[in-house]
A and B are shown apart, each in its own frame.
Chain A
């Protein structure tokens, strides 16, 4: 009887030590699910989800504070992917946060009007606007995510939205589904 108790207790201690060691040795830095959610989000950093950027939104989703349908730039595709990842039902986009636009847009600054106030530079989440105080600013188009956060802060309204022009390398073959005859 006593030997059994001693043996079981010893085993418990050994396993406890192993588990304790493993918990320290193989500790996962950060929350992996947040990274996975963040990888799906479109990284426009627009804040339409009410969180200050894509990562905070990903954190909120992982904690269950936010729903998966609050990302207008991602639209249905992102909602479906998130639903797949998290094992929940997909739902339509919450229209309170905005509408999903099919066409990608970027902004550009009318350099004739710009007064060089730097407000848009401070608003840009991806540092895609260059310029200095009292000097003209301009948008680096290839880095612009189309979040439009710079538009409301501009005191002279010189920032406009522009559709990303299609090139031969960005052009996509249309789906044949669209001109199919129903049988």
Chain B
């Protein structure tokens, strides 16, 4: 198969062999599993269990309520002991909501529903199984996989690429997975192909992983799938970048602000394929993954099959922590980020835990000398120094004009910079800053709309009030006017006669009842006198009226 060249890139020292000496083992079951509600790109899942609930292994404990979201499953059986904020693997060190599960050691599975004959299912049914199994891209980005298996029209996909390049130094989890689970990867690829109706499939492996390549080829022989190609790509960082790998294999470039889907290509990680095989063929959701624990801070670097929620510290201890273990990086040395503590759980996107001694800074950041080395290695063919210039000046419009969103943050530019400028940091800073500004803008637009609507509502209410008052006034005027137009004297006569009639009624009632006052015997002279006075006054008033 013909390969195309990608621009830029670096040849880096792999440091991979040290973690590939031993076969992958299952890490021992920890007592406590901490499961962040957001382990993927998109919206956080919402808990559907309460504190105190007993859960089974594989049971959904948090549901996806949005399109770009996935559910979270219990990695083992046990009891929910808390839903609280906990540190998560994130560069900010911010705590977010997590479900804390106390394991009971029984590893009791929820009943699995395998779909061995998935070929009879519709593509959307397969996608739903994959979504409900909580599968996200396991290469590191963590985008919900079922969305990447959704094409609006069938036959839109020419090539489905499985990314087994794993170009970043130190990381070997995909390489080990390809060696140990090669059959499962091909099974998963077949499921994906069924969902996507892809014409052709390619598994790309870097040529420094001979064993993985051979084992995959052997596994493929059993399948007799002539539509699958397994190819070796040159070892070059960042050949494993999605856009770079697509360019290398198909010669097509993903448009700026576009998706691989736009050029008829879909790219998934090999570990995602293996997880999809588990989900569809065996009915098991995504609850564990291969993680590389490596670096000079551990004496026994290796790959482990780890349940999500297991704390980093357990794994570092398991791999024999030594006195150089000072700095923890999730991901590789190029694209990973430092986490401030090892008291954080493994999540779906944790592919590698790199344990190192703290870097002693011997190099100072010097001014940019415009040597242009960064532009030579940039695989996205951007102008790193211009981006740096504008990001530094916080001129974010210009940064966007120079296509900052095409930057994959591979770190090649920082690596080659003779002035040791942390270029990627500037791009990360600018990206989040631009995003925050956009969010603010959106929020202020909403506030403006709400304010304008309020003004409108108040005006309307005022106008309505005025209108109501005017109508009432008119009505009153009309009623009065009607009366005025009638015979005035007759109206007054009617009133008078009504009053007289009422008075007559009262009088008749009083007479008929012939009320005689009680206690009128044996009155004192004083009392008789006051009664006589009152009677006289009443009579006088009656006469006057």
Contact = CB atoms under 8 A, between A and B. Distances in A.
Interface string A167-182: 1101111111100110
Contact of A168 (B38, B366, B422, B453): B38
A53 B448 CA distance: 10
A125 B439 contact: no
Nearest to A41: B444
Nearest to B432: A172
B90 A168 contact: yes
Interface in A5-24: none
Interface string B84-108: 0000101110101000000000000
Interface string A64-92: 00000000000000000000000000000
A171 B432 contact: yes
Chain B CB count within 10 A is highest, among A44, A170, A171, A173, for: A173
Contacts of B426: 175-176
B415 to A, nearest CB: 15
Interface string A146-183: 00000000000000000000111011111111001101
A44 B431 CA distance: 25
Chain A CB count within 10 A is highest, among B92, B433, B446, B451, for: B451
B451 A128 contact: no
A85 B529 CA distance: 98
Contacts of A53: 451, 455
Nearest to B436: A172
Chain B CB count within 10 A is highest, among A44, A125, A172, A183, for: A172
A19 B430 CA distance: 48
A57 to B, nearest CB: 12
A38 interface: yes
A38 B444 CA distance: 10
Contacts of B429: 172-176
Contacts of A172: 429, 432-433, 436
Interface in A98-141: 125-128
Contacts of A54: 448, 451
A46 B500 CA distance: 66
A43 interface: yes
Contacts of B364: 181, 183
Contacts of A176: 422, 425-426, 429
A62 interface: no
Given A173-B432, A176-B429, A42 B444 contact: yes
A169 to B, nearest CB: 9
B425 A166 contact: no
A45 interface: yes
Interface residues of A, number: 29
A183 B366 contact: yes
Interface string B436-463: 1001100111111011111101000000
- Which secondary structure characterizes the binding site on chain B? helix
Contact of B367 (A42, A126, A174, A183): A183
B448 A38 contact: yes
A43 B367 CA distance: 40
A108 to B, nearest CB: 18
Contacts of A170: 436, 439
A136 to B, nearest CB: 21
Nearest to B437: A77
A24 to B, nearest CB: 28
Interface string B356-383: 0000000011110000000000000000
Nearest to A74: B444
A48 interface: no
B151 interface: no
Interface in B55-114: 88, 90-92, 94, 96
6 contacts: A126-B451, A127-B454, A145-B447, A167-B94, A171-B91, A180-B365
Given A38-B448, A173-B433, A181-B364, 18 more contacts: A44-B447, A53-B451, A54-B451, A126-B447, A126-B450, A126-B454, A127-B453, A143-B446, A167-B94, A168-B38, A168-B90, A170-B439, A172-B429, A172-B432, A176-B425, A176-B429, A181-B365, A183-B364
